[in-house]
Chains A and B, each alone.
Chain A
Amino acid sequence: MSSQDIIARSATTTPMPSVRQVDEVAKLIDVSKCIGCKACQVACSEWNELRDEVGHNHGTYDNPADLTASSWTLMRFTEHETESDSLEWLIRKDGCMHCAEPGCLAACPSPGAIVKYANGIVDFNQDKCIGCGYCITGCPFNIPRISAKDHKAYKCTLCSDRVAVGLEPACVKTCPTGAIVFGTKEAMKQHAEERIVDLRSRGFAQAGLYDPPGVGGTHVMYVLHHADQPSLYAGLPDDPQISPMVSLWKGITKPLGLLGMGLVALLGFFHYVRVGRNVVEEDEHGPDPAVHQVDPAVHPYDPREPRV
């Protein structure tokens, strides 16, 4: 994978190379198979050379308490009491969803700081990141985090460096229960179908695939036992949408603002040509005309010259 495989780039209007046909990849997280062991969190930190600070227990199994710039994935634990009075422990691996229409990329004002590859991976380029935090506003899943260390945004890369050389992401490889699987998006949808049939036969009539169309589908998908209520799973959005403010700002306000700036510059030029600059007449409060000031640079002082 290289810069030629980028099919979308933040704050860039020139077209991206897009003739090559690349299979889209996807990570499928089967929530029903997850045991919450957090091997994926450890493998992620190990591969990406991240070591988050040791935090405090907040009364849940979530560790750390939230995603950070050094924790790109996190098991979120939910205790769900069903109508039949039984307890379900819903464990969802949270992290970047790698949307087909990424809100972060649309919101980012820095050219090339957020890119989308032809295989579907959405990646942050921290050397171009200006730390404005608009990606957080643009993200319907509340994923990116700004580092307090370097004031740049970080999130899951779907191990773009591993995928680029033909490997699976680190979390996928380590998962002991096979709850996280990786392959082409088509293969993952097929795998999800088989899982859903199995879950339905086990009494989860609402089992289904979470691949929200509001963001054009995602390259990280979930198999949920309660696909009718995604919000059960630690607030997974039922119908994620990119905030209308992003399209209002980037779609209308920004071009209008640029047009305004251009018009002002053009008007200024014509004003200068037609009217000229505003010359302020020297008033009586200026330097005393009786005092003759000599600029020594203009009139060099020659001591040998006879004085007048």
Chain B
Amino acid sequence: MDMNRRQFFKVCAVGLGGSSLAALGVAPPTAFADQVRHFKLARTIETRNTCPYCSVGCGLIMYSQGDAAKNVAQNIIHIEGDADHPVNRGTLCPKGAGLLDFIHSPNRLKHPEVREPGSNEWKRISWDEALDRIARLMKDDRDANFIERNAAGQTVNRWLSTGFLAASASSNEAGYITHKVVRSLGILGFDNQARV
């Protein structure tokens, strides 16, 4: 091999540089990384809730990121059945098992909306407007259609022209209060099996 002095120095410099880098750990052996994926719920916040779908009312645990410190915005990263819940003992149907995507769905309703008579558009309104509107319409309808006595003259106090649909995920207490409010108004059409 023909090599002049300059080429010889170049080869030596490259060899020395390369071996020094390798010795410094630039090209280390394969690291012994953990083989198993890290358990993603290790330090998440657990919050209990009830599945919003059907009237079975399965218990859920929602796992959210962060440790509830002041500067952390909680984000739910996983939902699974609550093993201590007497209804489902940890199990969930396919709808309940997919609740994470329900929560993060871009189509999820997050604020009150109204579609006024004759309109084909949903309009966003504030909670105050929504509650005022509901109260106003209920009052008007009740004043117009409330049945105090039936044909036989017996007191019945019925209000048949309005129905009430509440959430299936209500607790006993919420259900009790809902029932009291609705029945005291005289509404008969009332369901907690919302299937929303």
Give A contacts to B, CB under 8 Å. 1-3, 6, 37-39, 41-43, 45-47, 51, 115, 123, 125, 127, 157, 160-162, 164-165, 170, 173-176, 178, 295, 297-298
Contacts and interface: CB of A to CB of B under 8 A. Distances in A.
A170 B81 CA distance: 10
Contact of B39 (A51, A161, A173): A161
A41 B36 contact: no
Interface string B52-78: 000000000000000000000000001
Given A46-B97, A297-B6, A174 B81 contact: yes
Q: Interface range on chain B: under 10, 10 to 19, 20 to 34, or 35 or more?
A: 20 to 34
Nearest to A44: B97
B78 A38 contact: no
Interface string B27-44: 000001111111110100
A46 B36 contact: no
Contact of B36 (A39, A160, A170, A295): A160
A43 B39 contact: no
Interface stretch (B86-94, B110-118, B176-184): B86-94
Contacts of A6: 35
Given A173-B80, A297-B4, A39 B37 contact: no
B2 to A, nearest CB: 9
B100 interface: yes
B91 A46 contact: no
A115 B32 CA distance: 14
Contacts of A47: 78, 80
A11 B97 CA distance: 38
Contacts of B96: 39, 174
B55 to A, nearest CB: 15
A174 B35 contact: no
Contacts of A115: 35
B92 A39 contact: yes
B79 interface: yes
Contacts of A297: 4, 6-7
Q: Which 9 A-B pairs have the closest CB atoms?
A: A42-B97, A43-B97, A161-B37, A39-B94, A42-B94, A42-B98, A176-B91, A165-B39, A174-B97
B94 A1 contact: no
Nearest to B91: A176
B24 to A, nearest CB: 24
B32 A3 contact: yes
Name B's interface SS.
loop
Interface in B143-196: none
B100 A162 contact: no
Contact of B34 (A2, A157, A295): A2
B39 A46 contact: no
B94 A38 contact: yes
9 contacts: A42-B97, A42-B98, A47-B80, A123-B36, A161-B36, A173-B90, A174-B81, A176-B92, A295-B4
Contact of A125 (B35, B39, B92, B97): B35
Contacts of A165: 39, 42
B36 A2 contact: yes
B177 to A, nearest CB: 30
Given A174-B92, A176-B93, 18 more contacts: A2-B34, A2-B36, A3-B32, A37-B93, A38-B94, A39-B96, A45-B98, A46-B100, A47-B80, A123-B35, A127-B33, A160-B36, A161-B39, A165-B42, A173-B80, A173-B83, A176-B92, A297-B7
Nearest to A171: B97
Contacts of A295: 4
Contact of B81 (A1, A45, A51, A173): A173
Contacts of A175: 91
A173 B84 CA distance: 12
A6 B32 CA distance: 12
A176 B90 CA distance: 9
Contacts of A51: 101
B167 to A, nearest CB: 21
Contacts of B35: 1-3, 6, 115, 123, 125
A295 B81 CA distance: 81
B36 A164 contact: yes
Contacts of B79: 46
A288 to B, nearest CB: 20
Contacts of B98: 42, 45-46
Contact of A43 (B34, B36, B80): B80
B41 to A, nearest CB: 9
Best-buried of A6, A43, A160, A298 by chain B (most CB within 10 Å) = A43
